[in-house]
Amino acid sequence: MSTSSTPAPLASPDPAAASCRIGARGISRSFGPVQANVDVMLTVRPATVHAIVGENGAGKSTLMRMLYGLDHPDSGTVVIDDEEVVLSGPRAAIERRIGLVQQELAIIPELSLLENLVLGDEPAHLGRVDWKAARTRADELAASVGIEIDWNADAARTSIAIQQQVEILRLVYRGADVLILDEPTAVLAPAQADELLRLLSSLREAGRTVIFISHKLDEVLHIADRITILRSGRTIAEIERGEVDRAGLAAYIVGDSEVPHSEITRGTPGEVVLRIEGVSADDDRGIPRVDGVSLELRSGEIVGVAAVAGNGQEELAESLIGIRAVSGGTIRLGDDDISSRSVRARRRAGMRYVSADRKHEGLALTLSLTDNSIATPGLTSLARAGWLRRGAVAERVSSVLGRAAVRFGSASDPASSLSGGNQQRVVLGRETSGDTRVLIASQPTRGVDVKGIGYIHDLLRRARDEGAAIILFSEELDELRELSDRIVVLHRGRISGEVDGSSSRAEIGALMLGEHHGDAAS
Amino acid sequence: MNFDLLLASAITLSVPLVLAALGGAIHRRAGIVNIGLEGHMILGALIGAVVSGISGNWALGALAGFIAGGFSGLLMNVIITRLKGNEIIVGLGYNIVMFGVIGYVLRAAFGVSGTLQFEGLQRMPKIDIPVIADIPVLGALVSGKDPLFWLCIVLVPFLAWALKATTWGVRLRATGASEAASASLGLRTLGIRDGAGIVAGALAALGGVALSLGTVGLFNENMTAGRGFVALAAFYFGRSRPLPTALACLLFGFFDALQIRLQTVGGFSPDIISTLPYIAVVVVLAFTGIRQSRRGARALS
């Protein structure tokens, strides 16, 4: 615990001289019967941004973990600076100046951003941290990539975008020259993602090498110098910048299997089901986040909600289903005031919820698919005198999983055995089964691949056509435009405008930044 | 009722609690709830009494108790971190084993049951401060206290500072807040937790020394009387920050002193009065729980 050194200067053997800064030579890796990587080849040239694309479960994260020494190939080797190496663990990777930002950020919420930055390599004298030196170094780092960070802020109080920037800077602080980012933009709003891409560009200009995984083909085409496509654990192609367009890339990713292509249909709004009247809500720290939102939802329509992250959309979604108390206003379902009803009562009345936090609120990952499919207040209809009827349970499970076309082995497998996209389909299958009057869907396609997104969109449209009133919270503007009958935009907890579902990105984007242009935009 | 006497006795009774609770707080910040404080305390009380009794030197006794507590803390922590024992089960089991072993040792090695007394045992000195001793309240607060009281006075700000300003403190807090993230940054999280476990055991054992070498100068196998668990409540209430934790101990110590005073006043059933400090613990914990659920208020039902 005593080593505390300043980051080493760039290693003397010129890394730019190597044709392959980091890569894979014939790597295979299996987990039980599942082949995550099969004979994968990867060559990342120094000082480039290299994108890795592929469906969920294509083996991208497994490959990244091996490049960072968190996992080890069954056969084949990792290549660093044209040399075949064995990485015994992350320490070995760090020594070779490789850093990884995983999907779960290694930011410690209880510490300040500055503490997070220097943690493990603090400038110190006799065990006493030199916070002044740390601060100077932090400011230099931020300035070198052209961003500003309030280093004294508690990490818990900062947005995920800033936490991510700090995590990237931490790798640079520790001397990393190769930065591996696992789906960094999946959790970012469009503006934040743009900022991240700029940060990556400036890292590349400074001579660092960036590998990043993304499902967002536009940003991949925008920033990557080179793209590697993985499918079912195999390298399908390595493409230079400009050699492929969006459609071509999508075709590489899904291969022969069909891209589910649904025509865009709009809903036929019926009568008003849910009336939101002047609703306000606070976040966990008591800070007001939703400020007097009024909205009506009609059966058979999808109302999209667009907002930059942190503008109250999460709190609004949670207060609609009742996980979060409203601090003002009323919510009416039909003629009933449900503002202070429990989640259970709301669900019994036909309200359903798809949480943005699939892993914690959407599913119980360690429980079986069966348990996850039937775990609703409607469970009692499957029981007689408190005993679950096997036949009825099996029927419900196959209807839920069948509705969502979930690909699974056995219904007794844990939910964690499914890929992210399939997990989310279980949630949507469950939440759209039965008599759904109102569906609150929060970021339903977050971290889901192209094909999975198609299925989820179909499920939402189907629920709409069956008469549900759907409120869709999404950070993907294209998704909102494709699905919504109308889009309301939240800015600082207030509705800054309402526009038609087919409005342009620019129009919605302006409202997201709080630019009112005439009050009656719809 | 003499208020100065009550105050002086509240402070004396708080010292063992503060030491144990600070140890528990440090361990908690490293991510482990130490249910075994009671066991570390009773071990410290015994070793302190035995070594002071044999050597006739209180400082040697305290040092021996401190070191024994460190080993005890390390042993328990290793069972939790390396052998992956559940911290609650291990802690509870550890207490039971510790009390069983000590009861056995008393009979087997010293031929006594329950209470162990040494002719030559040296108790800790009381440090009287001239002039200040005669000032009302202040005199009761700081004069006539033993060295471990002064250790507490130094330890509270020192630990608060160390948690903030040293690499040890930052890494400890990081490990406690998120072990996986800390490990991925190359911190030796198991080692950090072992270190915190040693601190917890050693400080709790010193708390035990404060009991056996403090006012009474003997060892009794029931002398901790749940103080390890009261300390647990104290750092829970103080959210594992040194100063609030110590203040919570002071509160519990006050109720303990009050209880002793009320026993002599009479008029109430002594059995009921002796439950006063523990009732105070329950009330404070309930209050803490309500405060925290307000803070994180989210659910309606």
Per-residue pLDDT reduced to its tens digit, A189-241: 777 888 889 999 999 998 899 999 987 888 888 899 999 998 888 898 888 88
pLDDT of residue A383: 87
Contact B167 A105 (CB under 8 A): no
pLDDT greater than 60 at residue A4: no
b/e sequence A182-195, b meaning 16+ C-beta within 10 Å = bbbbbbbbbebbeb
Q: Residue A516 in 3-state DSSP? A: coil
pLDDT of residue B265: 78
Contact residues for A352 (Cβ-Cβ < 8 A; gap 6+): A431, A432, A436, A438, A439, A440, A468
Q: Which chain B residue has its CA at the smallest distance from A282's CA? A: B298
CA distance B111 to chain A (A): 46
Q: Which residues of B touch A96 (CB under 8 A)?
A: none
Q: What is the CATH number of the domain that holds B146?
A: 1.10.3470
Q: In the structure, what pLDDT confidence band is assigned to residue A12 with cuts at 50, 70 and 90?
A: very low
> What's the pLDDT tens digit per position in B212-241?
998 788 999 999 989 999 999 999 989 899
b/e sequence B12-26, b meaning 16+ C-beta within 10 Å = bbbbbbbbbbbbbbb
Higher-scoring residue by pLDDT: A515, A106? A106
**Fold match, A19-254 / A272-363+434-512:** yes
Alpha helices in A245-297 (DSSP H): 246-254
Q: Is the CB of residue B184 less than 8 Å away from at least one CB of chain A?
A: yes
Q: In the structure, what pLDDT confidence band is assigned to residue B298 with cuts at 50, 70 and 90?
A: very low
Average pLDDT in the B31-41 region?
95
Contact B182 A108 (CB under 8 A): yes
Which candidate from A108, A109, A129 shows the least CB-CB separation from B166?
Answer: A129
β-sheet bridge partners, residue A213 = A52
Q: Is the CB of residue B186 less than 8 Å away from at least one CB of chain A?
A: yes
Q: In the structure, what pLDDT confidence band is assigned to residue A17 with cuts at 50, 70 and 90?
A: low
Higher-scoring residue by pLDDT: B20, A419? B20
Q: In the structure, what pLDDT confidence band is assigned to residue A7 with cuts at 50, 70 and 90?
A: very low
Q: Which of A508-512, B147-151, B295-299 bottoms out in mean pLDDT, i.e. has the lowest?
A: B295-299
The phi, psi pair for A87, rounded to 5°, reads -95, 110
H or E segment to which residue B149 belongs? helix B147-165
Would you state the structure tokens that stand for residue A366, as one six-digit string? Answer: 């360690």
Average pLDDT in the A505-522 region?
64
CA distance B85 to chain A (A): 21
Average pLDDT in the A88-108 region?
86
B289 domain-assigned: yes
pLDDT greater than 70 at residue B297: no
What CATH number matches the domain at A272-363+434-512, 3.40.50.460, 3.40.30.10, 3.40.50.300, 3.30.365.10? Answer: 3.40.50.300
Provide the CATH number for the domain formed by A19-254 in this structure: 3.40.50.300
Contact B174 A111 (CB under 8 A): yes
pLDDT of residue B301: 34
B120 domain-assigned: yes
B169 domain-assigned: yes
pLDDT of residue B153: 94
Which candidate from A94, A115, A324 shows the least CB-CB separation from B186?
Answer: A94
Predicted TM-score (pTM) of this structure: 0.74
Average pLDDT in the B142-148 region?
88
Q: In the structure, what pLDDT confidence band is assigned to residue B119 with cuts at 50, 70 and 90?
A: confident
Would you state the structure tokens that stand for residue A390, as one six-digit string? Answer: 């096997």
Alpha helices in B56-137 (DSSP H): 58-81, 87-110
Which candidate from B180, B186, B298 shows the least CB-CB separation from A324?
Answer: B298
Q: Which chain B residue has its CA at the smallest distance from A344's CA? A: B301
pLDDT greater than 50 at residue A6: no
pLDDT greater than 80 at residue B292: no
pLDDT greater than 80 at residue B300: no
State chain A's mean pLDDT as an integer.
85
Which candidate from A105, A131, A343 shows the least CB-CB separation from B301?
Answer: A343
Q: Which chain A residue has its CA at the smallest distance from B189's CA? A: A1
DSSP B297: -
pLDDT of residue B148: 94
Q: How many CB atoms lie within 10 A of CB B292?
A: 12
Q: Is the CB of residue A486 less than 8 Å away from at least one CB of chain B?
A: no
Contact B170 A129 (CB under 8 A): yes
ipTM: 0.82
pLDDT of residue B92: 94
Q: How many CB atoms lie within 10 A of CB A457?
A: 18
pLDDT greater than 70 at residue A515: no
pLDDT of residue A410: 86
Q: Which chain B residue has its CA at the smallest distance from A156's CA? A: B177
pLDDT of residue A261: 53
Contact B187 A105 (CB under 8 A): no
A460/A432 Cα distance (integer angstroms): 8
β-sheet bridge partners, residue A231 = A234
pLDDT of residue B295: 58
Q: A296, A330 in Cβ contact below 8 A?
A: no
> What's the pLDDT tens digit per position in A58-95?
888 889 999 998 889 999 999 998 889 999 888 888 88
A482/A472 Cα distance (integer angstroms): 12
Q: Which of A164-173, B9-18, B184-193, B262-271 bottoms out in mean pLDDT, i.e. has the lowest?
A: B262-271
pLDDT of residue A208: 92
* Torsion angle (degrees, nearest 10) of CA A56, A59, A64, A69: 140
Higher-scoring residue by pLDDT: A238, A1? A238
Q: Which residues of B touch A110 (CB under 8 A)?
A: 173-174, 176-178
pLDDT of residue A247: 77
pLDDT greater than 70 at residue A462: yes
Nearest to A488, CA basis, from A301, A332, A322: A301
pLDDT greater than 90 at residue B68: yes
Which candidate from A94, A111, A340 shows the least CB-CB separation from B300?
Answer: A340
pLDDT of residue B1: 52
Domain chopping of chain A, boundaries: 19-254, 272-363+434-512
Contact B301 A340 (CB under 8 A): no
B300 domain-assigned: no
Give the count of domains, chain B: 1
Which candidate from B177, B296, B300 shows the least CB-CB separation from A109?
Answer: B177
B301 domain-assigned: no
Q: Which chain B residue has its CA at the smallest distance from A315's CA? A: B298
CA distances from B20 to B37, B177, B189 (A): 7, 22, 23
Contact B187 A343 (CB under 8 A): no
- Residue range(s) defining the domain that contains residue B279: 3-295
Which candidate from B165, B167, B299 shows the least CB-CB separation from A1?
Answer: B167
A 334-373 → B contacts, CB under 8 A: 340-344
A444/A356 Cα distance (integer angstroms): 6
DSSP one-letter string for A431-494: HHSS--SEEEEESTTTT--HHHHHHHHHHHHHHHHTT-EEEEE-S-HHHHHHH-SEEEEEETTE
pLDDT of residue A18: 59
B150 domain-assigned: yes
Q: Is A79 left (phi over 0), alpha (psi -120 to 50) or beta?
A: beta
pLDDT of residue A3: 41
> What's the pLDDT tens digit per position in B173-210?
999 998 888 888 888 899 999 999 999 999 999 999 99
CA distance B251 to chain A (A): 28
pLDDT of residue B193: 95
